[in-house]
A and B are shown apart, each in its own frame.
Chain A
């Protein structure tokens, strides 16, 4: 992006000229009948552009962006892997995109078959019994999962209002718990970044409904006591929820269902390679063990006599979690990805994700001390060295300087329990050459920071804008033209 084109951030409304139009319709005998008192008083302030103006405007804006297609994007916890183009092509087939969500089942057999088969495959991959692909994002899936738990306890007549969340968890976990009306019990991780069994025992009581675990956890460490955690929880009548954000480390290699978890969500836009679109849409299906199956949201895709149908008749269901079935077009992409992989190929995903992360970690650990000395899973958490800290260099400075070198920054300042965290997730689709070049750049930045800290503290130097005044943005919000 550095020199491709002159930076132009004029707004579309500033390029607007009265009388221009990008799209015209034909309706020779149009006779509308909207009563005057129901009509809008003044024209909406939308830009007036020709089609060419609009195409150039948005194409230029697309250039002021890092993306997986154009840049290495090692954003920890986000699994920014390559998004195969075949998935785009097949998910855009008109037979899929033109289908109304309230079409009769007999006219929707193709899409229903895919959803049904995707359920089966995902359950098999993860060792779970039943699935729903309604939820449209990880957090939406989490909320659905926690509602299943709530329903479970109401059906068996137990009053439980606490959810245990480790302090290393994604922010969505505690937010979800409280959204569903539970009290969040935060528990501290051990210095190794694991859940401490003794601490857990202290917190498990007759009020504990659910424990939410991320496996591997957000430090990229496999929770080696997960089976014991599940056993202790079950003995207490507590359900175990697994945040599936980091499934890329396990896929094909380990079935989470074998740990003894009761439910988990999937981020299709992470593990199953659907593009993230600048923040969404994603898809966040839920997998459950048999005992939670009756509570899944309605309707459910089922099969009878070789025909697929939406079953609305589910008396124990938690209900509807959005108007219509999930982010179907995203699921179609994920389905194409499922088809592309058999058991062997899935295992290679996890293997290469783990290999790549350890390669980066081992190459950088002398300069950027890792949180844990152990081998990591699919991502590693590092931090600036004491030498850098003494020069006043912060994680943010390193992140910004990376942009100058054409690398998207890793996730920074997360997990919250690591001071100045730099969380790197290379994913399996990146090549050794790219990783080598990233490693080399990190070393270079380390040099720069030691020799010329002010220069690094003022990075980026080559982006369209320098560091932005976030205080001004928050104190005097300007959020529309």
Chain B
């Protein structure tokens, strides 16, 4: 229990208020609701909680994991962890009183700047829930701007992003989602050109795409832009240490999953939804935005700005209902970017890519194991196995305490034997050999 008042103090307080007992304070509550029976176990002590939670954490099997698909096993720098655990950041609320929140507001400004730098975009908000909800909000912004109802998307976008976008549009049948097919695992711009019509609001692509392949996003954007529609690029922010940016290719919106910037995987969250756009769309951005300004004496300071877009002012006419965001995760990403800098991030990208290239080479040297696609990849790739990928995954994880990758059976019939393997800086060459051995043993 975390209550500070002693029984004596409570008595004094009731006296000061002028009531005899606590129940007098809640006389407005109908009696029938009060003091219901609650069937819960008795409270545990702190030591017992510590022990119980440790035991529960050990019920999760610790595996060497090669699963990626949008969530990556990244190293969290020790300095980042230390700063994030500071109570001054951890236990603050949204910076509603700017004079008492300059530190937090400045970190939001630095976050927005870092994301704009990575994506080469003009504007970033202060964060969304995760990559999929950022994507959904970008789709909604495109529908608002264009007043149209068709969304074209690459078949190599994370399918969960598409599902989330549909849910965010309340599964309203008036919005039409149409998939642009792939060739060789890459989005086919010829189909894209054909599919765009008068009702098309936007086109969305991902880079690297869901299969880890590097798309030609420049051509994709150009094709879409030649027919005057809006464009969205989902890009892994980590990969932008090395890969071509959505901004330099001319996308209207660029979104991404910020978990990749050193945040733990933690079974789904908290993650970080990155949302950026070009200047002309700034009014369509959902969520909070921090801006630099001056105080009465002309000194530099920071405030939340452009607030009239938001739910607490615009209510039913707001662009989004978002209120709480993922501020602490955004701070984590900001620290991560500051610790690595442009050179460190590029180096980290090179390590990821180099390990993936090495792993692909080693694994395809196993008999009957092939790369599914020929195109260059970033840090994950799809293998075509001589057996069901789900079975191999189960077998390897049971026998070797290795999760060898994600089976792609959820992508359809053609993917029953497809295993997607991901490498990050947390692995090394001996891990690759271990993975190879374990797969070999289970085929």
B282 / chain A contacts, CB cutoff of 8 Å: 477
Instruction: Name which residue of chain B comes closest to A413, CB basis.
Output: B312
* CB contact between A83 and one of B13, B90, B339, B354 (< 8 Å): that residue: B90
Contact B118 A44 (CB under 8 A): yes
Contact B71 A102 (CB under 8 A): yes
Number of residue pairs spanning A and B whose beta carbons lie under 8 angstroms apart: 668
Contact A255 B110 (CB under 8 A): no
Contact A321 B167 (CB under 8 A): yes
A369 to chain B minimum Cβ distance, whole angstroms, is: 17
Binds B, one of A62-70, A203-211, A382-390, A444-452: A62-70
What string of 1s and 0s marks CB contacts (under 8 Å) between A67-111 and chain B? 111110101001011111010111001111111111110111111
* CB contact between A101 and one of B103, B244, B268 (< 8 Å): that residue: B268
**Given A40-B243, A324-B269, A479-B305: A340 touches B49 (CB 8 Å cut-off):** yes
* CB contact between A280 and one of B166, B170, B326, B340 (< 8 Å): that residue: B326
Binds A, one of B155-163, B225-233, B364-372: B155-163
Contact A98 B61 (CB under 8 A): no
Is the C-beta of A153 less than 8 angstroms from some C-beta in chain B?
no
Is the C-beta of A392 less than 8 angstroms from some C-beta in chain B?
no
Contact A222 B26 (CB under 8 A): yes
B63 / chain A contacts, CB cutoff of 8 Å: 103, 107
In whole angstroms, how far apart are the Cα atoms of A212 and B433 in the complex? 58
A102 to chain B minimum Cβ distance, whole angstroms, is: 6
Is the C-beta of A244 less than 8 angstroms from some C-beta in chain B?
no
Contact B295 A429 (CB under 8 A): no
In whole angstroms, how far apart are the Cα atoms of A409 and B321 in the complex? 24
Is the C-beta of A179 less than 8 angstroms from some C-beta in chain B?
yes
Contact A40 B245 (CB under 8 A): yes
What string of 1s and 0s marks CB contacts (under 8 Å) between A284-326 and chain B? 1000000000000100000000000000000000111111111
Instruction: Name which residue of chain A comes closest to B122, CB basis.
Output: A480
A227 to chain B minimum Cβ distance, whole angstroms, is: 7
Interface residues of B in 109-125 (CB under 8 A from A): 109-110, 112-114, 116-118, 120, 122-124
* CB contact between B320 and one of A30, A179, A282 (< 8 Å): that residue: A179
Is the C-beta of B30 less than 8 angstroms from some C-beta in chain A?
yes
**Given A99-B267, A108-B267: A355 touches B22 (CB 8 Å cut-off):** yes
Query: 7 tightest A-B contacts by CB?
Result: A277-B328, A95-B57, A69-B87, A110-B59, A279-B327, A325-B268, A22-B339
Contact A64 B103 (CB under 8 A): yes
In whole angstroms, how far apart are the Cα atoms of A479 and B10 in the complex? 48
Is the C-beta of A11 less than 8 angstroms from some C-beta in chain B?
yes
* CB contact between A480 and one of B113, B127, B168 (< 8 Å): that residue: B113
* CB contact between B85 and one of A88, A281, A347, A359 (< 8 Å): that residue: A88
* CB contact between B325 and one of A47, A68, A279, A339 (< 8 Å): that residue: A279
* CB contact between A61 and one of B46, B107, B131, B378 (< 8 Å): that residue: B107
Contact B270 A33 (CB under 8 A): no
B196 to chain A minimum Cβ distance, whole angstroms, is: 24
A350 to chain B minimum Cβ distance, whole angstroms, is: 9
Cross-chain pairs A/B with CB under 8 angstroms, 28 sampled: A9-B300, A22-B338, A22-B341, A24-B347, A32-B353, A35-B376, A40-B241, A43-B342, A45-B342, A58-B83, A65-B88, A82-B2, A98-B73, A103-B65, A110-B58, A110-B59, A140-B133, A174-B316, A278-B93, A320-B160, A342-B43, A359-B17, A400-B97, A432-B9, A477-B282, A479-B109, A479-B290, A480-B116
B267 / chain A contacts, CB cutoff of 8 Å: 96, 99-101, 103, 108, 111, 324-325, 328
B265 / chain A contacts, CB cutoff of 8 Å: 97-101
Instruction: Name which residue of chain B comes closest to A297, CB basis.
Output: B167
In whole angstroms, how far apart are the Cα atoms of A284 and B171 in the complex? 21
Contact A63 B85 (CB under 8 A): no
In whole angstroms, how far apart are the Cα atoms of A194 and B216 in the complex? 59
Binds A, one of B31-39, B145-153, B187-195, B411-419: B31-39
Is the C-beta of A172 less than 8 angstroms from some C-beta in chain B?
yes
Contact B5 A355 (CB under 8 A): yes
In whole angstroms, how far apart are the Cα atoms of A180 and B103 in the complex? 36
Is the C-beta of B199 less than 8 angstroms from some C-beta in chain A?
no
In whole angstroms, how far apart are the Cα atoms of A276 and B327 in the complex? 9
Is the C-beta of A157 less than 8 angstroms from some C-beta in chain B?
no
What string of 1s and 0s marks CB contacts (under 8 Å) between A2-34 and chain B? 000001010111001000111111010111111
B303 / chain A contacts, CB cutoff of 8 Å: 468, 470, 473
B25 / chain A contacts, CB cutoff of 8 Å: 354-355, 358, 375
**Given A90-B49, A342-B40, A481-B113: A147 touches B100 (CB 8 Å cut-off):** no
In whole angstroms, how far apart are the Cα atoms of A290 and B434 in the complex? 49
Given contacts A49-B338, A62-B103, A184-B315, 18 further A-B contacts (CB under 8 A): A22-B338, A27-B350, A31-B358, A35-B376, A47-B337, A65-B102, A70-B87, A95-B60, A96-B266, A103-B67, A108-B60, A136-B269, A324-B71, A326-B269, A464-B301, A466-B297, A466-B299, A481-B110
Of B97, B100, B117, which is in contact with the most chain A CB atoms at under 10 Å from its CB? Answer: B100
Contact B316 A175 (CB under 8 A): yes
**Given A39-B242, A147-B167: A33 touches B30 (CB 8 Å cut-off):** no
B1 / chain A contacts, CB cutoff of 8 Å: 340-341, 345, 348
Is the C-beta of A327 less than 8 angstroms from some C-beta in chain B?
yes
Size bracket, chain A contacts: 35 or more
* CB contact between A324 and one of B268, B288, B300, B316 (< 8 Å): that residue: B268
B421 to chain A minimum Cβ distance, whole angstroms, is: 13
Contact B99 A25 (CB under 8 A): no
B32 to chain A minimum Cβ distance, whole angstroms, is: 8
A395 / chain B contacts, CB cutoff of 8 Å: none
* CB contact between B29 and one of A16, A109, A171, A222 (< 8 Å): that residue: A222
Contact A111 B60 (CB under 8 A): yes
Is the C-beta of A188 less than 8 angstroms from some C-beta in chain B?
no
Contact A336 B53 (CB under 8 A): yes
In whole angstroms, how far apart are the Cα atoms of A150 and B295 in the complex? 47
B127 / chain A contacts, CB cutoff of 8 Å: 280
* CB contact between A99 and one of B3, B118, B266, B393 (< 8 Å): that residue: B266
Contact A41 B13 (CB under 8 A): no
Contact A280 B71 (CB under 8 A): no
A103 to chain B minimum Cβ distance, whole angstroms, is: 7
Is the C-beta of A124 less than 8 angstroms from some C-beta in chain B?
yes
Instruction: Name which residue of chain A comes closest to B13, CB basis.
Output: A359
A12 to chain B minimum Cβ distance, whole angstroms, is: 5
Contact A109 B12 (CB under 8 A): no
B1 to chain A minimum Cβ distance, whole angstroms, is: 5
What string of 1s and 0s marks CB contacts (under 8 Å) between B54-89 and chain A? 101111111101010111010001010011011111
In whole angstroms, how far apart are the Cα atoms of A32 and B425 in the complex? 13
Contact B244 A39 (CB under 8 A): yes
B294 / chain A contacts, CB cutoff of 8 Å: 468-469, 472
In whole angstroms, how far apart are the Cα atoms of A371 and B268 in the complex? 43
